[in-house]
Each structure stands twice: as structure tokens, then as C-alpha cells.
Structure 1
């Protein structure tokens, strides 16, 4: 059992770990399976090259990922290795940054200087030989520990941890705004940086920072956005999620409640919740569990409910079956 597992299983006391669900392994498996089944494709997710990942992380700061992808490819076409970037004229790098509207020019200067640090062996373990040639330690070799990566110019704890995770599978749990939103909503974690770090760390499986941090960021980016898409994105944590159960989707970066009451998303969620407690239900038995004003022939009646379940069926979440003159719904 990992330290995180042991901590999650401890009882008593008040603290962030008390927010963890009882079955941490099931929570982990659900998220990783959801991510591996289908996720957005970005080229930096297909590489373990620390230089390429560092470029993507620096570019992604306060810039939409869709815009980053084009700039990232063009940047690497021009400076394909850390050696190429280190040898470049700083003005050219800054000019590229400005021309692609990538935000603060200081990030370009810092990235250029970080490349020089790596090539010159100015970061990393003190016992590693520096400046030892193309294949020697320090010449183009990135350090693998987050603390060492944080020695690079302009690389803060978050970026260092992301590079360690995605390049070397050697990071800690990433905690950014999206991850905080997920943890706040799903497990009612207090809005406190230390609490978020503790819960995020306890959830992450040992030795799996690459897939786990990618999955957490994907969850916050496509299912648990400021306006969530729980059912539409097939959020894997719905059965444990405090916000999904209560309908309150506020979060640290979402100070006011998004429109939810009476929405189709809310009704879909009620269908899923009701069916999760039963093997199957006829529509007329399911209906009152979704809307208290359900009447089979009313505006929000059998045909309305059939269409709602059909939506879920189209998303692979439910199915309908005609049996003995009535329609029966169940989860897949």
C-alpha cells in the first residue's frame, strides 16, 4: 500500500484528507480509464522530450491551447533542440514570441536563458559533470527532479512539476486552477492551497504522475469547466461528486452559481442518479424521481423523459428497452 493509500485509509481527525472518498482506488481507476479511452490530442502529449514539453508549458501560460499548438510546432521547426535555442539570438526568440501573440515577452527571454542553462550544465545535481560534451552530463540534459527543474530561469514550481511529470513521470500532483476547481466540486475540499495540495497528492497513484496529471487537467478542461458538462463529457467522478449530487457548481474561480436549476443537464443528472440506484426502471417509475411534476401524458411526461434517456443513450450512458408494453431504462 502506498503512503497516499495508507493516509487515505486513516480514520478520525479533521483535515483535508477527510475529504477523500472511501474507495480511493475506484476513483483513480475511473479517472484514468476515462482519460485513456478518449482525450483531446495535443502534440506535447505524444512526446517525453523535456525540451518540447518545457516549450509547451511556457507557451500555455495564459494562452489558449488551440493557439499554442500552431506556435509550438513553428517554434520547434525553427529551434528543434535545446542546443538550437541556446545558440539563437535572443532578439529572434522574442520576435517570434511577439509575432505569435504569446503574451509577456519576458517568458521568451526566460525560455532562451533556461536553454542556455541546460546546455551549459548550470542546473541539476552538484555531482553531475558539467560541460562534458554532446553526450556528457550537463550538455543538453535536463534534470529530472522538480526542485532541480525549478532552478531554470522563469520556471516556477508548477512548470517544474509539469515537466518532471510529463517528461520523466517523476512529478508530484499538479495543482492548477482547473485541478482546484475539480477537487473543490468533487470532494468539497476547502478553498485553501495547502488543502488542495494534500488531497491532490493523496489521490495521485505512486509512480504515475504522467497519466494522472494529464487526466486531472483533462477533467478540469473538458468536463469540469466553469460551466460544467458532467453528463455530456461523461465525467467519471459523478457517482462521488458533491457538486453533482447537490447541484451547486460554484468553485474558487466560479463565484456565482451557473444556470443549472431546471436545466436539461440537471435533469440528465437526475436520471443517471436514479438509475444508478436501481438495475432498471420503467419510464413511469423513473419519471417522478426526475421531476416531482411528472405525469405520463404531460409536458414533462413520458415522451419528454424518453427523449432525455435517449440523449444519455446516444452518449453511451444509458439504454432503453421495450418490454411487455412499457419502456424500461437502465444504465450501461
Structure 2
């Protein structure tokens, strides 16, 4: 396993703050993100296993209309629950049976109250480590870092974490602020779903980790679930990454010192000259990544 410390950026607090600020400013709205009810969160997590979120959202609302709380589900006829699962194309019917049994356990063995930590939640039928941690995080703010495919992709690209489950978990947990698993895990998964998908959308989505991202700097966006990298050579995204890399390596640079480090054919008065470079710097400044004063640029402090 990799040395966790080697994979973390020096300014970890800045990395954390940038992600949380980005997430809280704007994120996709899902009904399960608007609740802390462990029952509703468990339903969403079980439904989301290998099922597209668009289909999950409709099924989730219908399910809660039918069985609005854990007591109602525990009292339901199992055949009705399985029939709902089949009618809504939610995958393996065993998930419906386990969810129904878990509701009965909560009512019969826990007095209708969910366990609040991952270990306790794993005692419920069909609730594995990932789901238990997700419910503990999103309902009780009491979980570890969630590590799914999206999170692995983000960590691999951003911090060059090797494709190793233990390494991913170590780095993910080291990055997560203590006692903030709800907002942090939502934010990392949002980053993987919106900005760092299989085809990355770094600039358009305003990825908050561009200043630290290994993939953004090198142009290599391969990942454990991405065998071939998207077209990148010569793109504006690549040029922006080169600006960040140059300023990180050399500190404050004048435009004419920076330009050749971004493009070998930089010509102050040409097509790829000061005006073109100024446009890149303006975009990066708008994103809070660089500062420009007169004829000089540096990374934002």
C-alpha cells in the first residue's frame, strides 16, 4: 500500500475548504440529500446499487408514498415489496427482501431506532460495509470516507493514488475532516459525478481541485474505470493546466516568461501570444486559481 502522506497535498486544509465551498455553492438536488432520516437514506442507498439515479428518484418517491417510514415497511407484506421492486426495474429482488427484513430488525430488535454507527448498521440484513458507512455518514454524520467507483476515479486522478483499495481508503479517510462525513462524502461523490466523470469536465464544472490535480497538470485522465483517456492534447484545458504547473514550479512569472512554458510556439504578438495567454489567465483568475498584477502572474494565495 502506498504511503498516505506522500499522496496528500501539503495544503490539505485548502483542498478540503475548496471542495466543501464548491459543493455548498451549487450541487445536484436529490430528495435523499435533503433528509437525515436513516430509513429514507437506506432506501435510497439500496435502490442506487447498479441503478441509474434518474430511475431511482422516481421509484424512491413512489416507495415512500407506499411505505413512508420503517414501521410501515416492517408491517408490509414481503410479496408487495418484491412486486414493487420488479415493477420499477430496480435490479435483484433479493435487495427488496433484505430491505424488508432490515426494517423488521429495526422495529423488533432496536425499538424502531436505527443503529448510528457503521458496525451497528452492518448487523442489519443485506447492509454491507459501504451501505452501512453511507447511512452512518448521511443520517448521523458518523461515518468514514465513502469510497465508491466515482471517489476512486477522483483520488486516482487528483492525487495519483494507485489502483489499490487499501490505498484509496487510506487517502480518502486522511482527507476527510473529522466529524464532517455527511457534507464531505456528498461533496466528493458530487465531484466524481459532475466534474470528474469518465470524460472529465474540469473547467466547465469549475472543479475546485484543479490547482492540485495530477491529471489536470499532466493531461493524463485515465483512471481505474477509464481505460483510455479523452481527447486532451492541444485543448484549452491542457493549456490551463500548463499555466498552473508553470506557476507552481517557478512562482511569479511575466507573461513572456510564462508563455513559452505553456506553448513552445508562443509569440508575444502572434496567434498564441499575450492576448491568448491573457485569456487563459483571466479564466483561471475568475476561478480563483491565479492572480494577475500588470504583466505578472502567480498562483492565488
- 8 Å CA contact 2:102–2:126 kept in 1: the answer is yes
In structure 2, the residue matched to 1:79 is 67
In structure 2, the residue matched to 1:97 is 85
* Residues 65 and 317 of structure 1, relative CA distance in 2, 3 Å threshold: farther
- 8 Å CA contact 2:202–2:210 kept in 1: the answer is yes
Matched, 1:202 2:202: no
In structure 1, the residue matched to 2:120 is 148
In structure 1, the residue matched to 2:231 is 259
Matched, 1:109 2:97: yes
Structure 1: gaps of 5 or more residues:
1-12, 122-137
In structure 1, the residue matched to 2:137 is 165
In structure 1, the residue matched to 2:156 is 184
Structure 2: gaps of 5 or more residues:
none
* Residues 79 and 280 of structure 1, relative CA distance in 2, 3 Å threshold: farther
**How far apart, in 2, do the equivalents of 1:229 and 1:14 lie?**
28
Deviation of residue 295 (structure 1)? Answer: 3.0
Larger radius of gyration: 1
What are the Cα deviations for residues 257-299 of structure 1, in whole angstroms up to 9, with x where unaligned?
A: 22211123212333455567666855x6654343221335544
What are the Cα deviations for residues 167-196 of structure 1, in whole angstroms up to 9, with x where unaligned?
A: 001111111111111111212222111111
In structure 2, the residue matched to 1:54 is 42
**How far apart, in 2, do the equivalents of 1:89 and 1:251 lie?**
44
Deviation of residue 83 (structure 1)? Answer: 0.9
Matched, 1:295 2:267: yes
In structure 2, the residue matched to 1:28 is 16
Matched, 1:118 2:118: no
TM-score when normalising by structure 1: 0.80
**How far apart, in 2, do the equivalents of 1:14 and 1:99 lie?**
45
Pick from 1, 9, 16: which aligns with 2:4?
A: 16
**How far apart, in 2, do the equivalents of 1:23 and 1:301 lie?**
33
**SS in structure 1 opposite 2:228?**
coil
Aligned residues, how many?
299
In structure 2, the residue matched to 1:239 is 211
What are the Cα deviations for residues 207-250 of structure 1, in whole angstroms up to 9, with x where unaligned?
A: 11111111111111112211212222222222222222221111
TM-score when normalising by structure 2: 0.87
**How far apart, in 1, do the equivalents of 2:251 and 2:224 lie?**
34
- 8 Å CA contact 2:252–2:296 kept in 1: the answer is no
* Residues 67 and 313 of structure 1, relative CA distance in 2, 3 Å threshold: farther
**How far apart, in 2, do the equivalents of 1:184 and 1:330 lie?**
27
* Residues 237 and 268 of structure 1, relative CA distance in 2, 3 Å threshold: same
In structure 2, the residue matched to 1:68 is 56
* Residues 308 and 206 of structure 1, relative CA distance in 2, 3 Å threshold: closer
**How far apart, in 2, do the equivalents of 1:281 and 1:98 lie?**
63
